[in-house]
Chain A
Amino acid sequence: MTAPASSPAGAPVPLLEVRGLGKRFPGVVALAGVDLRVDAGEVVAVIGENGAGKSTLMKVVAGVHEPDAGELRWCGEPVRIDSVRRAAELGIALIHQELNLCDNLSVGANVLLGREPGRRLGWLVPRAVDAAARPFLARVGLDVDPRTPLGRLAMGPRQLVEIAKALSQDARLLIMDEPTSSLSFDETERLCRVIDELRAQGCAVLYISHRLGEVERVADRVIGLRDGRPSGALERGAIDHRAMVRLMVGRELEVRPRARRDSGARPVRLAIEGLRSATWPEHAVDLQVHAGEIVGLAGLVGAGRSELLEAVFGAARALAGRVAVDGVALPRGHGVRDAVAAGLAFVPEDRKERGAVLRMSALANTTLASLPEHRRAGGRWAGVLDGGRERATFGRVAARLDLRCKGPGQPVATLSGGNQQKVVLGRWLARDAQVLLLDEPTRGVDIGAKDEIYKRMEELAAQGCAILFASSELAELLALADRIVVMHEGAVAGELRAERATEELVMALATGAGTRAAVEATT
C-alpha cells in the first residue's frame, strides 16, 4: 500500500487526472471537454446512455485510443498513454466486457500469462506458477485451486481471475467496463465486496455500468456523460437512482417528433404471443404492431431486444410462442424462410457482419431476398435470371429509398454506412415486405443519413407497413415511435404511448431497479 503523495499545498495528488479530453472518430465527436479525477483508494463510476462515450473514455485512459485534445496526468505528472503496454507499465489495467482469458489453460496460468515465473530455457515449472498465482487469487477472495482449468469456472469467478491478473501486473487503477453484464445477482454482490476490498488496499477503480443499483452500492463518486460531454457529477451521499437518471438523460432531440396517428383502429399486422427466446426462457413476450404503426423497443444493452427480434424473425428459434402476420400464424418453431415467406423483414444490428454482402454489387444485394421472382420467363426451371427485371427492381427501390450510388454495379463495401443500410432495407422493399423488424437501424450511420433513415421509416409506415425497431438512442425512440415498449432483463417492463413517454420514464423502466417508485415519482 502506498501512502498518497502530497502536493506542496498538502492536498493529495490525484492518481489520475484528465482535463479537457476530446476524441473524434470519422463523423462522430465521441468525447469533448471531459474532466475526470481519480484518487488512490477511490471508486469512480461513469454513467450514461449507450453511445454517450463511456467506453471511449475508458479506452483513452487504457491506451487503446489516443485522445485528440486534452491532458492526462498520472500521479501529478503529464503522461502520454499511447499503447495498452504503456498503460500497463503505469499501472492501468482495463478489464474488458469480453474477458481476455484462455479457457483451455489453468486459472494460475491465466493469472500469470506471459509472465510465468521460474521458467528456464522455456521450460515451465507448473508448481512455481501456481505458487505465484495464489496470493493474487487470495486478494480477490477467489478460493479455487490454481490448477483448475479456467473453462470450468462460471462467469463471476472468471471476472475475479481477470482482476487477479491485473493485480499481478501491479495495477493501481482498474478500469471495469460493464463488469456485471453477465453476472448473476450473487456474483455481482461478491464482485462489489471485492471492489470494497481493493479500495481498502489503495487500488483505484473506474467503473462503468448501466445497473444503477450497484453503482449506488460501490461508487464514491459518479460522473455523467451525455453525447460525449460531461453532464454533471455526484459525490457520495448525493448518489441515488433519480439523480443518476437525470445525469444520463436530457439529450436534445435531433429529430422533430412525427405527427402520430391513432393506430388502434387499424388492423394488427404483427402479433406476437407468448414468445420465449432461448436467452430468456423464463419470460414470455406479447406484443402487437398495427398497420401504419412504428413501435420502438427500448432497453439497456442485454435487455433482450435483439433476442426478441431474432426470435420473431426465426433467425434464432423461439422456445415457445406464436407469431402471426396479418392474422396468419407462422408454423411452430418457424425459421427465417417461413418468416420471409410470410412477409416479415429483418435488418440486423451488425450491418457488415450480418446484413450486407459487402463484396457484391448494390444490385445483387437488393434483389438477394427475391431472386426467384426475378427469373426469366423462358428459363424459370433453370433459375435463369432476368437482368432487365433485376435492374427495374433496383431502380424502383433505389428511387424509393433515395439511394446514392454510382450505379447498380457498385460494390456495397464502397458505399457509405447510411447507403449500405438502405441497400439492406431495400432488399426487403424489393419483395414488398409489410412487417419490418429493424435492430438499431441507425447504428454506425452518420447524422445526416440517420435523418434520412427516419424519413424512410415514416414513409413506409404511412404506406401501411408495420415497423418494430430496437434502438439504444432515447431521442430516436421518442421522436419516431408511436409506442415505446421497454424491456428489462428479457421481459417487457412497460409500455408507453409516445405522447406520454419521457426519457426519465423510459430510463426508469429500463434500469429496472426501483422501477415502480421512479415511474410513480415522475408521473
Chain B
Amino acid sequence: MTTTTGPKDTFLNRLLGRIPLTGWLALAAPVAAVVFAGLVTALVLLVTGNPPVETLTTMVEYGTQPRTMVLTLNSATMYYISAIAVALGFRMNLFNIGVDGQYRLAAILAAAVGGSAVLPGFALTVLVIVVAMAVGAAWAAIAGILKATRGVSEVISTIMLNTIASSIVAYLLVNVVGVRRDNNIGTRPIPEDSWVPGVALVPGTQAKVFGLIFLAIALGIGFHVLLNRTRFGFDLRTTGANREAAIASGVNVKRMVVIAMVISGAVAGLAGMPQLLGASYSYSLDFPAGLGFNGIAIALLGRNNPIGVAIGALLWGFLDNSATILDLQEVPPEIVQIMQGVIVLSVVIGYELAHRYRIAAEQRKVSRELAAPAAVEGAKA
C-alpha cells in the first residue's frame, strides 16, 4: 500500500550521505550549488562596491597559474586527510568534531619525536607518522570510551578535548619541546634525510607538491575499500544507518564506537604530516590551523564519499589560495570565506532536493516495473 520511507530516513542521515545519492543527481546537486554560491558571492561583491566579474576572473586566472595549482594541491592534501577522518565518523553517526585538536596534538608530539632524531633517515619518517597516528588515535579514544561507557555525547567531549588540546599544545611548545628562533618558537627541526621530498607534478613551476599526497590518495582508497568491501565496514555503515538493526544483527555497537573513534583519530593525526614532513619540518606557532573544522565542511560537501571529498578538498584549496590575489585588487579576501559558507549551505539544500527527487523517482520506477506483469496478466483475464 504505502511504500515506506523508514524512520531512519532523517534529514541528518541524508545530510551525512549515509543515504546514497546515485546517478547524475549526485553530480548535478553540488555543481548547481557551487554555481549558486558563485552568484551569491557576485551579489555580495556588487553590494560592497567591487566588480564581481572582474574579481572572480582574476581569482580564476591566478588560481590556474602553475604555482597556485601546486599550493592548491598542497592545501587539498591536508584538507582531504582531515575530511576523511571526519567522514569515517559521520558514516557511523559519530560526529568527530575533535579532528582539530587531534591533528595539532599529533603534529607537535610527532614533530618533537622527529626533532630528537632518535632514528636515522626513512626509519625516522615512519616513526614520526606512527607517533602522529597513535597520538591522534589516543586523543580520539578518550571521546570514544566516554561515549561507550558513560554515554557522553562525542560532540561535546570532542569540542572540550579541542580546547584542552590547544592548551596542551601551547604548554608543550613553550615549556617542553619548543626552541626559540627569531620571533618564532618551534620544535627542533627534523633532519633533512627524514624529510618527505616533494614531487614535481605541475609543469611550469619550481614548486613541488607534497610527497604525502600519495598517502592521502591511499587513505581515500583505503576508506572506500574498508567501508564497502569489508565486514567491519559493513558493520560500521549498518550502525550508522540503523543502530537498532545493527544490535539485532549482532554488532557490538559500543565496541564499534570506540574502534571507529580510534581509526578516525589515527587518520586525523595524519592531517598535519604533509606540512610537517614536506614543508616546515618543525611544529611552530605558524603551523596551519583550522584543518579540522574545514575538514567537517569538506566532508559534508563531499557527502563522505572519497571522490566527493577529494573534489571538495580541491575546491577549498583553490578558493583559499586564489584568494591571496584579492589583496592586490583591494578586495577583502574574506569574500572567499563567505563563498565557502554559501557553498556548504547550498550544497546541503541541493542534496536534500536531489534526494527527495530520487526517492520519488525510485518509487515510481519500482511500482512501474512491478505493475507491468500484472497489467499484462490483467489484459489476458
- Physical interaction between A and B: no
Residues of A bordering B, CB below 8 Å: none
